[in-house]
C-alpha cells in the first residue's frame, strides 16, 4: 500500500521559523520510517503563496508578488536541506499545474451544485486568512480580535459560496465512522462540537484584491486562499488526471498540521472532497505550539527561533531529536536551552554515545577491530536481547499513532538497559579472566547497538548512518527487515569516533 504524507504548505510572508521546521520534521520522520519498513512513500511539502497576507508582505517589501514569492519560497526549500527533510516533492501554489487543479476542482463543485454567487459581509483576519463569526471575537481599544489574537477587519464584497451548511451531518457521520480521522482525541472532540454547533456556508472567493487563482468564468474573483491551498495536496498527485502516475497515492495517509489550522483540514477539506466525490484523507494530526522560554513566540516580541541558527549551534540531529523527544506530539511545549542541553548531554552523549563508544573501543582494542563471532545466548544476556525482539514492532505502532516521544522513550529505555548490561558484565575486566565471554558480551552489545541505530535512523539520519558505519553495517543492510540477518563474524570494524559532542553549560 503506497503511503502519502504531507506537511502544510507554508505562507511565504516571512522567513521560516521553528514552527515550520517542527511540522515538517514530524512528517519527515514518518516518511523515513515507512521507507525503512519497505513501504512506498510520497512525502510532499511546499509553499502557500497567494492571498492577502502574502500580497501585503510583498507590498511592504516593495516587491512584485511574483519576485517576492520566488525569493521567500526558496528560503523554505533551503530549509528542507538544512533540516535534512526527505520530501519527494516541493509544491508551489503559483505553479501553472496548481492553477489548473484548483480550477478543475472548482468546476466540479460548481457542476455538482455546491457553489452559488452571493455577497459576504462579515469579519476577516488577514493574518489567519480566515472568516470569523461575531461571537468568536473579543475587543480591545476599539479593535476586534479573533481567538488566535489576529486583528479582524470588516469585509463586504460579492463572493461565491460553498454550501458548507449542508455538510454538517455528513461530516459528523464521517467522524463517527472514522474514529482515527482527527488526532489527538482532544482535538477531535473540539472539531465535533464545532460542527455540531452548526456550519454556515463558506465564502470561497474574494474580489477586493487580485493575488490568487482566478475563478473559472468570472475573472473578477480570485479563489479563497484556503480552497487554493488545500487543493495542493491533490495537485501534487496529478489531479484532475485520474491516470496520473501518482494519483494512486490518494487519499493521503496523514496530513500533519498545527492545531491552529485543524479546522480547515478537518472540516472544509473533507467537505470539499466529498462534494467533489473524492475520498477524504485518512487522518489529520494536529500538533501543538512551541513557546520560547515560556513566552509566546512572536515577531513583535523578537523571540522567533531561527532553525538555521539552532542547527549551526547544536548540530542537526541533536535538534531533530530534541524537538520530537521533549514534547508529547499533540501538546504545546516550551523550548528552553537548559532542557535542550540536558537532553543532549544526558541522553544522546551520556547514554547512547557512551554505550557505542565503550563497546566499539573495546572491540577495537581487545578484538583487533574484528566483529566477534555470534555467540550462544545465556540467561544473563536476555535482559539485553529479549527487548530487541519487540523493538521494531513497538516503534512501528507508536509512529502509526504519531507518538514520537514514546517511541524515543522506548528506544532509550532499552539503551539505558544496555548500559546496565555493560556495567554488570564488565567486558573490560573479562579480558584477563574470561576472554571468550568478553567476546560474547561485545557481540551481543554490537547486535543491540545495530538495532538501536537502525530504528533511530529516521530521527537522526546522519548520526545513525555514522554509527552504522562504525558498526560495519553495509549500506544495503540498514532497513528494518535486514535486522533479521546477522552480520558475518570477523568483519573489520573501523576505529570508532564520538557520535555526540557534550555541550558546556555557560555559568
Q: Which residues bind ligand MSP (CB under 6 A)?
A: 8-11, 19-20, 22-23, 48, 229-230, 232, 257-258, 260-261, 289-290, 297
Kindly state the smallest distance separating residue 92's Cβ from ligand MSP, in Å.
12
Q: Report the DSSP beta bridge partners of residue 132.
A: 123
In the complex, minimum distance from the CB of residue 149 to ligand MSP, in angstroms, rounded to a whole number? 12
* Residue 261 or 266 with smaller CB distance to ligand MSP: 261
- Exposure letters 12-36 (e unless 16+ CB within 10 A, then b): bbebbbbbbbbbbbbbbbbbbbbbb
Helix intervals (H) in 83-223: 96-111, 168-177, 185-196
Would you say 78 or 169 has its CB closer to ligand MSP?
78
Q: What is the DSSP letter of 151?
A: B
User: Minimum CB separation from ligand MSP for residue 362, in Å?
Assistant: 43
Q: Within 10 A of 194 (CB to CB), how many other CB atoms are there?
A: 14
**335 phi and psi angles, rounded to 5 deg:** -90, 110
If the CB atoms of residues 10 and 43 are measured against ligand MSP, the closer one turns out to be 10
- Please say which residue, 236 or 261, places its beta carbon nearer to ligand MSP: 261
Contact 11, 36 (CB under 8 A): no
Look at phi and psi of residue 176 and say left if phi exceeds 0, alpha if psi is from -120 to 50, else beta.
alpha
Q: What is the SS3 assignment for 377?
A: coil
The least CB distance from residue 95 to ligand MSP, in Å, is: 15
What's the min distance (Å) between Cβ of 4 and ligand MSP? 14
Q: At what angle do helices 435-456 and 461-470 cross, to 10 degrees?
A: 160
Between residues 230 and 415, which has the closer beta carbon with respect to ligand MSP?
230
Residue with cell string 535486514: 482
Q: What are phi and psi of 416, to 5 degrees?
A: -65, -40
Contacts of 111 (CB under 8 A, 6+ apart): none
Nearer to ligand MSP, 205 or 232 (CB): 232
Are the CB atoms for 6 and 44 separated by under 8 Å? yes
Three-class secondary structure of residue 348 per DSSP? helix
SS3 463: helix
Q: Residue 270 or residue 496: which is nearer to ligand MSP going by CB?
A: 270
Nearest approach in angstroms of CB 240 to ligand MSP is 18
Which conformational region is residue 295 in: left (phi greater than 0), alpha (psi within -120 to 50 degrees), or beta? beta
Q: How far is the CB of 358 from ligand MSP (least distance, A)?
A: 37
For residues 11 and 167, which CB has a smaller minimum distance to ligand MSP in the complex? 11
- Nearer to ligand MSP by Cβ, of 189 and 298: the residue is 298
Nearest by Cα to 388 from 415, 419, 420: 415
CA dist 505 and 507 (Å) reads 6
- Shortest spacing between CB 230 and ligand MSP, in angstroms: 5
> What is the rounded distance in angstroms from the CA atom of residue 453 to the CA atom of residue 461?
9
Q: How far is the CB of 77 from ligand MSP (least distance, A)?
A: 14
Give the nearer residue to ligand MSP in terms of CB position, either 260 or 400: 260
Phi, psi (rounded to 5 degrees) for 119: -140, 135
CB of 287 to ligand MSP, least distance (A): 7
Amino acid at each position: 500500500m503506497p503511503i502519502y504524507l504531507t506537511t502544510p504548505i507554508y505562507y511565504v510572508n516571512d522567513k521560516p521559523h521553528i514552527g515550520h521546521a517542527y511540522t515538517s520534521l514530524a512528517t519527515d520522520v514518518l516518511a523515513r520510517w515507512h521507507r525503512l519498513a519497505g513501504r512506498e512513500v510520497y512525502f510532499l511539502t511546499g509553499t502557500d503563496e497567494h492571498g492577502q497576507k502574502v500580497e501585503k508582505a510583498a507590498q511592504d517589501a516593495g516587491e512584485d508578488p511574483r519576485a517576492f514569492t520566488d525569493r521567500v519560497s526558496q528560503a523554505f526549500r533551503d530549509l528542507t536541506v538544512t533540516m535534512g527533510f526527505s520530501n519527494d516533492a516541493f509544491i508551489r501554489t503559483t505553479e501553472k499545474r496548481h492553477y489548473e487543479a484548483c480550477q478543475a476542482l472548482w468546476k466540479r463543485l460548481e457542476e455538482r451544485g455546491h457553489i452559488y454567487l452571493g455577497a459576504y459581509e462579515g469579519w476577516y483576519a488577514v493574518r489567519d486568512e480566515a472568516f470569523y463569526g461575531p461571537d468568536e471575537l473579543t475587543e480591545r481599544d476599539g479593535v476586534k480580535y479573533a481567538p488566535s489574537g489576529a486583528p479582524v477587519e470588516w469585509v463586504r464584497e460579492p463572493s461565491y459560496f460553498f454550501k458548507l451548511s449542508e455538510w454538517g451531518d455528513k461530516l459528523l457521520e464521517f467522524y463517527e465512522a472514522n474514529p482515527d480521522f482527527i488526532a489527538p482525541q482532544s482535538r477531535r472532540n473540539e472539531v465535533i462540537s464545532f460542527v455540531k454547533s452548526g456550519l454556515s456556508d463558506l465564502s470561497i472567493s474574494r474580489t477586493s484584491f487580485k493575488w490568487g487563482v482566478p475563478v473559472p468564468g468570472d475573472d473578477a474573483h480570485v479563489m479563497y486562499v484556503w480552497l487554493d491551498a488545500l487543493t495542493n495536496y491533490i495537485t501534487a498527485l496529478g489531479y484532475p488526471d485520474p491516470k496520473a502516475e501518482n494519483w494512486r497515492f490518494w487519499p493521503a495517509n496523514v496530513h500533519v498540521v498545527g492545531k491552529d489550522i485543524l479546522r480547515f483540514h478537518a472540516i472544509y477539506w473533507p467537505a470539499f472532497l466529498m462534494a467533489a466525490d473524492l475520498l477524504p484523507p485518512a487522518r489529520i494530526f494536529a500538533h501543538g505550539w512551541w513557546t520560547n522560554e515560556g513566552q509566546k513566540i512572536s515577531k513583535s516580541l523578537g523571540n522567533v527561533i531561527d532553525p538555521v541558527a539552532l542547527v549551526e549551534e547544536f548540530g542537526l540531529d541533536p535538534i531533530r531529536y530534541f524537538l520530537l523527544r521533549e514534547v508529547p506530539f499533540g501538546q504545546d511545549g516550551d523550548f528552553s536551552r537548559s532542557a535542550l542541553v540536558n537532553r543532549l548531554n544526558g541522553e544522546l552523549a551520556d547514554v547512547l554515545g557512551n554505550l557505542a563508544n565503550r563497546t566499539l573501543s573495546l572491540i577495537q582494542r581487545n578484538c583487533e577491530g574484528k566483529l566477534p563471532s555470534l555467540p550462544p545466548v545465556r540467561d544473563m544476556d536476555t535482559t539485553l536481547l529479549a527487548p530487541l525482539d519487540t523493538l521494531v514492532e513497538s516503534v512501528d505502532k507508536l509512529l502509526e499513532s504519531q507518538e514520537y516521544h514514546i517511541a524515543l522513550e522506548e528506544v532509550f529505555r532499552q539503551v539505558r538497559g544496555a548500559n546496565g548490561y555493560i556495567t554488570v558484565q564488565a567486558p573490560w575486566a573479562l579480558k584477563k579472566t574470561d576472554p571468550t565471554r568478553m567476546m560474547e558480551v561485545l557481540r551481543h552489545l554490537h547486535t543491540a547497538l545495530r538495532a538501536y541505530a537502525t530504528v533511530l535512523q529516521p530521527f537522526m539520519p546522519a548520526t545513525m548512518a555514522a554509527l552504522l558505519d562504525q558498526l560495519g553495517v553495509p549500506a544495503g543492510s540498514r532497513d528494518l527487515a535486514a535486522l533479521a540477518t546477522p552480520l558475518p563474524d570477523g568483519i573489520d570494524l573501523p576505529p570508532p569516533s564520538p557520535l555526540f559532542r557534550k555541550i558546556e553549560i555557560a555559568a
